[in-house]
Amino acid sequence: MNTEADQLGFEIAGAQASNSDVNTDTLAAKRLADKAEEVALLYKGLEIYVRKIELAPEGFLIGQIADFSNVCSTQYEGLRLGQSLSFKHQHVQHISRLAEKS
C-alpha cells in the first residue's frame, strides 16, 4: 500500500531492502508508534517533523505535521502544519524526540 509520503516523494532512509518482510515492517512501525513522540521525515531536502504518531490497521504510520526545519511558515510545498500524513517506518530519517514513559 502506498502512503501519502510515497505519493508525494518523501525520501526513504538509508538503503531499502528489495524483499521487505511485512511482519518485520509492521513490528518496526509499531515500535516507532510506541516509542517516538516526534520523528523527522525528509521531503525535498527539508526535514518535516511529525508528532502524534499512531499505527494504522493497515500497518503504516499516521502522524500530524508539527514543524518544518529552517522554514518560518505554516506551509511548505503543499504541506501544512497540523495536517495528517501517512508514512512508512522506512521514511523516518531519525527520531527527534522519544515519548516519555508513563
The CA distance from 44 to 10, in Å, is 7
Q: Max alpha carbon distance in the chain (Å)?
A: 39
Q: In what order do the strands lie in the sheet with 92-98?
A: 84-87, 61-68, 46-55, 36-43, 92-98
> Tell me: the pLDDT tens digits for 52-79?
999 999 999 999 999 999 878 888 888 9
Residue 17 has pLDDT above 60, yes or no: no
Strand pairing report for 61-68 and 84-87: antiparallel
Residue 18 confidence (pLDDT)? 53
What's the pTM? Answer: 0.87
**Which residues face 61 on adjacent strands?**
55, 87
